[in-house]
Chains A and B, each alone.
Chain A
Amino acid sequence: MEEEWPLPSRGRVGMFSFIAAEAAIFTIFVVAYIFYMGKSLTGPTPKDVLELPIFSTVCLLSSSLAIHLAIRALRNGKVRAFGSWWFVTIALGAFFLFSTGREWQHLIFDKGLTISTNLFGTTYYSLVGLHAFHVTVGLIFLAVGMIFALLGEVKPEHSERAEIFSLYWHFVDSVWVIVFTVVYVIGR
């Protein structure tokens, strides 16, 4: 039997299933955030303390473009271009994480908002923190990829793997669009 027997790539199927599970987890956290909007018994409120993190949002979203360009370069055999774009992805993601850290420092030390202050604090730190945790995990994987790239171990035949990882990164970025809309636009 020499007929072709095409099956979907197991990596892709697995990653999409994983993303579905992650999406369900984020949905529950977003629902909790929306459910508790404006229900805090004490201050501070989102209006008092939150500022639009526009620059870091732009950074995170453009990292999706950077990783896409990295993988396209790898598929075309341009290993050096891949390394550069991969590095840009890491830099943008790391800057986003740094901005979140700065924002939290400001909220905790200047505004006195912690996770146990009120319902806003609880839901805000949980939702944004869950997202930041996913960014951190993504950055760890990206860093491992970067080490391999620097050692010259990344070859065009690895583009499939990099692409499957990039699905995760795109997912984390798109979750931020929802978190941004809910927390900083609607919730404020």
Chain B
Amino acid sequence: MASEAIPLNAAPSATRPIGDRLHDWVVTVDHKKLGILYILYGLVFLVIAGMEALVIRIQLMRAHSDFVSPEVFNRMFTMHGTTMIFFVVMPVLFGFATYLVPLMIGARDMAFPRLNALSFWLMAFGGFLLYFSFLGGNGLYGAGNAPDVGWWAYAPLTARAFSPGHSSDYWTIALLISGFGSIGTAINIIATTLSMRCPGMTLGKMPLLAWLYLVMAGMVILAISPLTAAQLMLSVDRYLGGHFFDTQAGGSATLWMHFFWIFGHPEVYVLVIPAFAFTSEIIPVFSRKPIFGYPVMVAATLAIGFLSLSVWAHHMFTIGMSSYANSFFAITTMAVGVPTGIKIFNWLGTMWGGKIEFTTPMLFCVAFVFQLLIAGLTGIMLSAAPFNWQLSGSYFVVAHFHYMIVGGILFSIFAAFYYWYPKVTGRMLNETAGKLHFWLMLIGFHLTFDVMHIPGLLGMPRRIYTYEPSRGWETLNLIVTIGAFIQGIAVLIFVCNMIFSYSKGPKAGNDPWDAWTLEWSTTSPPPEYNFATLPVVKSRRPLWDLKHPEDPDWKYE
């Protein structure tokens, strides 16, 4: 198997002028460079959107606060939500996919390298366009600059009359363009996993990460496309005087809700399935056991993918649907909990009786499993339509979905960073700083999002810019804000760790974790062609077979 990189260029890249090296990054079609670009791009926006969250939290820290105006507050929560979903989590997850999937399936690149580059730059352009609205959104009307219609942009708020200027157009077109990028990457992931596997790697021997990304990509295709269609319709309304969502001319605001949530709910699973993927790779390695229930894991993922396409209207219980529709969407929503629960048991089963090493990635994964469970349980609570009528649009919902996105998805992304950073850079991240990051993040997370459920139950609506002191929400909101700042410090430690370890961290070697998948068989960082000779695999853990020729996996699979 490949171990040493053969230098292809006579001149080492470090001696070339900086302009040339930057040019290499712009014109690159290499899946590893594009993966890194995706991730760095997502991290930049993580810091931006994180600061927007802190502005929101400072404003809500006490009653009658005037830290920002109501208009700015609206922009902050709109930009925070839109940025976090489309320009932080999506690029980071796609970055890991483009970096890892070809390496893990023993390929030299994605199926369509140029499409890969196009998709990245489309998404990047979308993000820049969204943030350009701070400068260019005013239009001739002197209206507000950045989008302020909320991340789901319900009609008729987006109609010309209620959203003058260009801010909503920047939102629409940024999402449209980044959506084309997402669809391109999804097509690429599907074609890569199906058509680029190395000899011997049947679908049943593919690493779970590749399997889960395959399902995620399929869902991107089915979920992002409706959003693209809806954004086209909104553009027709705003630019050509169409009436799709114009209630004055018989159009329906509810139709926008349906179209948005047909995208919006599967999107949650688009984001969480890669989180499952990271966890399914990391927990076995640090439990020193193969994953428990591989086929069930794949089946559960497919079930989640299928079921999650039919749950969208649980976001719309309060608009007054028929009782049949309410029952249908409540039942399907509860049904999604079943395959998710199966996954949790599989991870527990993997850890059970294993020799667990609590390294930083493993700590994040363990926290992920428990926080995912709690987020899932509040999800089941909200899926009961009568309960939902009470709490829809309250901070309980905000706490629920942040529990999923921060406690679930972000924690597993951190785990993935600590786990694969050695492969990408050739250096280990500092373990002490990593543990500090983990514990601060954990404390901050629980202070913020455990407590946030309570003001929701006490009736605090989401998206209000301030509240009366007599409501009894003040102390709770103060605690939430303190937790948010602790998380901010934790992320700062993480960023410093990444920068510092890049040059000062201990050398990682090819396989620092004694892991079993193909990416660890090549050098760290991998050469441009990944593998000098294409690997041939016989089991799900090809490196185990290599390290233990006396007791290989393929005898038992």
Contacts and interface: CB of A to CB of B under 8 A. Distances in A.
Do A and B truly interact? yes
Contacts of B208: none
B187 A21 contact: yes
A41 B252 CA distance: 13
A109 interface: no
Contacts of B278: none
Given A116-B240, A119-B243, A10 B233 contact: no
A20 B236 CA distance: 23
B321 interface: no
B183 interface: yes
Contacts of A17: 186-187, 190-191, 217, 221
B3 to A, nearest CB: 19
Contacts of A13: 111, 190-191, 194-195
B374 interface: no
A122 B225 contact: no
18 contacts: A3-B199, A10-B192, A13-B194, A14-B188, A14-B191, A18-B183, A21-B224, A25-B225, A25-B229, A32-B244, A32-B259, A36-B252, A41-B249, A41-B250, A115-B236, A116-B240, A126-B233, A126-B242
B324 to A, nearest CB: 18
Contacts of A116: 240-243
A14 B111 contact: yes
B249 A24 contact: no
Interface in B487-512: none
A122 B243 contact: yes
A114 B255 CA distance: 22
B230 A9 contact: no
Interface string A37-66: 001110000000000000000000000000
Q: A-B pairs with the 6 shortest C-beta distances?
A: A116-B241, A24-B225, A28-B229, A10-B195, A122-B242, A10-B111
Interface string B159-193: 00000000000000000000000010011101110
B187 A28 contact: no
Given A1-B200, A14-B190, 13 more contacts: A10-B194, A13-B194, A14-B187, A14-B191, A17-B190, A17-B221, A18-B183, A21-B221, A25-B229, A28-B226, A28-B259, A35-B255, A36-B252
A119 B226 contact: no
B244 A123 contact: yes
A166 to B, nearest CB: 18
Interface of B: 111-112, 115, 183, 186-188, 190-192, 194-197, 199-200, 217, 221-222, 224-226, 228-230, 232-233, 236-237, 240-244, 249-252, 255, 259, 262, 536
Contacts of A8: 194-195
Interface of A: 1, 3, 5, 7-10, 13-14, 17-18, 20-22, 24-29, 32, 35-36, 39-41, 115-116, 118-119, 122-123, 126, 130
A7 B250 contact: no
The DSSP consensus for interface residues of chain A is helix
Contacts of A39: 250
Nearest to B254: A35
Nearest to A116: B241
B236 A122 contact: yes
Contacts of A130: 232
B233 to A, nearest CB: 7
Given A24-B225, A28-B226, A118 B243 contact: yes
Contacts of B222: 20-21, 24
Contacts of B221: 17, 20-21, 24
A20 B187 CA distance: 10
Contact of B225 (A5, A9, A21): A21
Contacts of B230: 28
Contacts of A1: 199-200, 536
Contacts of B225: 21-22, 24-25, 28
A14 B112 contact: yes
B197 A119 contact: no
Contacts of B112: 10, 14
Contacts of A10: 111-112, 191-192, 194-196
A32 B186 contact: no
A41 B191 CA distance: 47
Contacts of B536: 1
A24 to B, nearest CB: 4
Nearest to A13: B191
Nearest to B242: A122
Contacts of A20: 221-222
A130 B232 CA distance: 10
Contacts of B237: 122
A179 B115 CA distance: 30
Nearest to A22: B225
Contact of B250 (A9, A32, A40): A40
Contacts of B190: 13-14, 17
A126 B236 contact: yes
A152 to B, nearest CB: 26
B339 to A, nearest CB: 22
B257 to A, nearest CB: 13
A118 B187 CA distance: 37
A32 B255 contact: yes
B411 to A, nearest CB: 30
A127 B292 CA distance: 48
A115 B240 contact: yes
Contacts of A122: 236-237, 242-244, 251
Contacts of B199: 1, 3, 5
A4 to B, nearest CB: 9
Contacts of A7: 194-197
A119 B249 contact: yes
Contacts of B217: 17
B226 A25 contact: yes
